[in-house]
A and B are shown apart, each in its own frame.
Chain A
């Protein structure tokens, strides 16, 4: 158990819909990262927040957005969903601002868009 929690574990929705994925980092960790992993694909970095502020942005679509709240939990919002958005979405956390340090990954949310 990494100490990172993600909810929900599974999510099934239809095209065009909007969903919110939630992540609670390990106690004391200030950075939260979001990743997308499609079937048999590697990890695609989406976005990172550090202590409430956006720190880095990767291959995140304009239909996707995220935020980190004062209690440090984070939410990833996916809108106008398409079939291709079906994937595992992982959240990770770390203590420091830069991800050169070890990241702790949550169990993931499996999103299925039908």
Chain B
């Protein structure tokens, strides 16, 4: 049963690169790692997903080391609008007992 651990909160400044790390020591072989962003009173929004090494899209990068026991979401040149809660999600599909576990989330506050 994969569980995730993230920092509760982080602060940064506009224009900086922000890295949020998620620990998932018990990640299973078939698990993928997914990150979502959530603004207050809104549903989460998908950011990025990966299995190993590095994945990059237009908004973020995801770094996953070889042992896959952690992952790092990297947000380049953040702005005030990036202030949100970021969730690390590890998916564990099984035949009879499907588990979908979300981390507690990291509250990211971007300052001017």
Residues of A participating in the B interface, judged by any CB pair closer than 8 Å:
2, 4, 33, 42-45, 48, 55-58, 88, 90, 92, 98-100, 102-108, 110
Q: Which of A48, A104, A106 contacts B100 (CB 8 A)?
A: A48
Give the distance to chain A from B24, nearest Cβ to Cβ, in Å.
14
- Indicate if the CB atoms of A56 and B43 lie closer than 8 Å: no
B42 in the interface, Cβ–Cβ < 8 Å? yes
Give the distance to chain A from B43, nearest Cβ to Cβ, in Å.
3
Give me 11 A-to-B residue pairs in the complex whose CB atoms sit less than 8 angstroms apart, sorted by A's number.
Answer: A43-B102, A56-B99, A56-B100, A58-B100, A90-B43, A98-B93, A98-B98, A100-B32, A100-B93, A105-B43, A108-B42
9-residue interface stretch from B44-52, B59-67, B72-80:
B44-52
Give the distance to chain B from A79, nearest Cβ to Cβ, in Å.
24
Contacts A45-B102, A102-B49, A105-B45 supplied; 17 other A-B pairs, CB < 8 Å: A2-B43, A4-B43, A42-B87, A43-B87, A44-B102, A48-B100, A55-B98, A56-B99, A57-B98, A58-B100, A98-B93, A100-B32, A102-B46, A105-B43, A106-B43, A108-B42, A110-B41
Give Cα distance in the complex from A43 to B99, angstroms: 13
Give the distance to chain A from B37, nearest Cβ to Cβ, in Å.
11
How many positions in chain B have a CB within 8 Å of any CB in the partner chain? 20
Give Cα distance in the complex from A55 to B98, angstroms: 8
B71 in the interface, Cβ–Cβ < 8 Å? no
Which residues between 78 and 112 of chain B lie within 8 Å of chain A, taking CB atoms?
A: 87, 91, 93, 98-105
CB closest residue in chain A, given B91: A100
B70 in the interface, Cβ–Cβ < 8 Å? no
Give Cα distance in the complex from A58 to B1, angstroms: 13
Residues of B within 8 A of A58 (CB): 99-100
Residues of B within 8 A of A55 (CB): 98
Residues of A within 8 A of B91 (CB): 98-100
Q: Which of B34, B43, B98, B102 contacts A108 (CB 8 A)?
A: B43
Residues of A within 8 A of B104 (CB): 42
Residues of B within 8 A of A48 (CB): 98, 100
